[in-house]
Amino acid sequence: MDIEEGMEWLFRARKIDLQIKDKIYLIEGLYTCCGLQGIAYDKISVVTSPENKFERIMADIDKEQRAIKALQKKKAKVLTEIIDRINTLETSPEKTILMGFYVKGERMENIAKELGYETKYCYRLRRKGIWML
Over the stretch 73-91, which tens digit does the pLDDT of each residue have?
Answer: 999 999 999 999 999 999 9
CA distances 127 to 31, 44, 113, Å, are 42, 67, 18
Q: What are phi and psi of 124, to 5 degrees?
A: -65, -40
In 3D space, the residue among 27, 118, 116, 111 whose CA is nearest the CA of residue 68 turns out to be 27
Per-residue DSSP letters for 98-127? Answer: HIIIIII---HHHHHHHHT--HHHHHHHHH
For residue 39, the model assigns a pLDDT of 47
pTM: 0.77
Res. 120: pLDDT tops 50: yes
